Amino acid sequence: MSNAAKLALMVTVFLLAYLVPVDSSRVQGAAIESLLMLQDYARKHVLFCLVPAFFIAGAISVFVGRGSVMKYLGRGGNKMTAYAVAAVAGCVLAVCSCTVLPLFAGIYKRGAGLGPAIAFLYSGPAINVLAIIWTARLLGIELGLARVVGAVVFSVVIGLLMAMIFQGEEQRRETEEEGDSFEALTGEHQRPLYQTALFMVVMVLILIFAAWAKPQAESGLWWAIYKIHWFIVGPLVVVLLVMVTVWFKKDEVRQWVGATWDFALLILPLLFVGVLAAGFLLGMPGSGNGIIRPEWIGRLVGGNSLGANFFASLVGSLMYFATLTEVPILQGLVGGGMGQGPALALLLAGPALSLPSMLVIRSVIGMRRTVVFIALVVVMATITGMIYGSMLG
């Protein structure tokens, strides 16, 4: 951190300590809400979502050859293949905006092009099959279909726009990577492809089933899987341990654990700060006890005006939604008068972004690219919401 940044941080902390009315019941309630949100996040997401994601990201950085990543997701690869792989991978994982971050950082640092990496970053939390089905059931088939179509299109279009806007910087990055050694491009650890593939598949399955969210309806396939998901995770963990013991050398395991630890150090502190800030500003999802009152939001998202759609997109991009929580929250907002256009805008901007994720994305791709990514999501969600709202009349 530069001296200017340290000075700005100290001034900010001083002003907050000096000016914030901590004796106000609203401020005290928001402070408690931020701690409750951090506790909820730690209990529901760190162990069963983020930890598996960190290990997957560490494995990508150590065991997956950079040449393989660049072949399918790099700038020189087939664009149709790259963006299809990124979108499909996000659909399969169906993780929240924070869990996808270690995976995004892993493939980007391993050589994936900015466009496909951004497409994966957006599609992971946005194209959540269970959430889309739940949206259609609670909010109507039209909104459910609009969400899935919008999310797929967004992931590709935003990725292509990011690649185009930062084409020069990506070319310089590719030139620098051309000087890497053969080992860096092909992967330091040579083993049969099937071993690496099975190893990664087992870890992805552990992530999917360990993070399986509890459905609202206690019936159907999703509920049946939820009831037995730990009985699926247990054997998978055993299989993973056998693979590590039989296929990997001790130094390889140490490098894997070290890379996993590096990702945790990079991401976790920023996520915790972001979750605290989101809880303080907006409160726990559905509680309305943050500094920003829910009735203020409700009054601003009625109808289908430009302002309503933009505000819904902006607020959605800042809020943190755990998997599936955006649907009942949106149901309450729609019941309170929220327009259909702003509802879709929030669904397209909210799950893919959050204040905690913004802080981490900045640390991976830099401030300029992060600002452009956020702007593209918010602007496209706003425009799409207006179009959808006008179609419904």
Q: Which residues share a beta bridge with 338? A: 302
For residue 17, being part of any structural domain is answered with no
For residue 7, being part of any structural domain is answered with no
Q: Is 278 helix (H, G, I), strand (E, B) or coil?
A: helix
C-beta of residue 308 within 8 angstroms of C-beta of residue 343 = no
Q: Is 338 helix (H, G, I), strand (E, B) or coil?
A: strand
For residue 171, being part of any structural domain is answered with yes
Q: How far apart are CA 200 and CA 347, in angstroms?
A: 30
Residue type, 365: I
For residue 145, being part of any structural domain is answered with yes
Q: What pLDDT, on the 0 to 100 scale, is given for residue 383?
A: 93
Q: How far apart are CA 372 and CA 42, in angstroms?
A: 30
Q: What pLDDT, on the 0 to 100 scale, is given for residue 324?
A: 61
Domain extent at residue 189: 33-391
Q: How far apart are CA 228 and CA 239, in angstroms?
A: 18
For residue 21, being part of any structural domain is answered with no
Q: What pLDDT, on the 0 to 100 scale, is given for residue 183?
A: 42
For residue 11, being part of any structural domain is answered with no
Q: Provide the greatest CA pair distance for the chain.
A: 64
On the 0-12 / 13-18 / 19+ scale of CB atoms within 10 A, 232 is middle
Q: What pLDDT, on the 0 to 100 scale, is given for residue 378?
A: 94
For residue 61, being part of any structural domain is answered with yes
Q: What pLDDT, on the 0 to 100 scale, is given for residue 186?
A: 42
Residue 3: which residues within 8 A CB-CB, separation 6 or more? none
Q: What pLDDT, on the 0 to 100 scale, is given for residue 221?
A: 80
Q: How many domains, in total, are found in the chain? A: 1
Q: Which residues share a beta bridge with 302? A: 338
What letters, b where the CB count within 10 A reaches 16 and e where it falls short, cover 110-135?
bbbbbbbbbbbbbbbbbbbebbbbbb
Q: pLDDT per position in the chain (393 positions), as tens?
A: 567 767 887 888 888 788 888 778 888 888 888 888 888 878 877 787 778 888 887 887 777 766 666 666 666 667 777 787 777 766 666 566 677 788 888 888 777 788 888 988 888 777 766 677 667 776 788 888 888 888 888 888 998 999 899 988 877 776 665 554 434 444 445 667 788 889 988 988 888 888 787 776 777 787 888 889 899 999 999 999 999 999 888 888 888 898 889 888 877 887 788 778 777 877 776 666 777 776 676 677 777 888 889 988 998 888 777 666 677 677 667 766 778 899 899 888 887 788 888 888 988 888 999 999 999 999 999 999 999 988 886
Q: What pLDDT, on the 0 to 100 scale, is given for residue 235?
A: 94
Q: How far apart are the first and last CA of the chain?
A: 51
Q: What pLDDT, on the 0 to 100 scale, is given for residue 95?
A: 61
Q: What pLDDT, on the 0 to 100 scale, is given for residue 347?
A: 87
For residue 377, being part of any structural domain is answered with yes
Q: How far apart are CA 315 and CA 54, in angstroms?
A: 28
C-beta of residue 320 within 8 angstroms of C-beta of residue 284 = no
Phi, psi of 342 (to 5 degrees): -60, -30
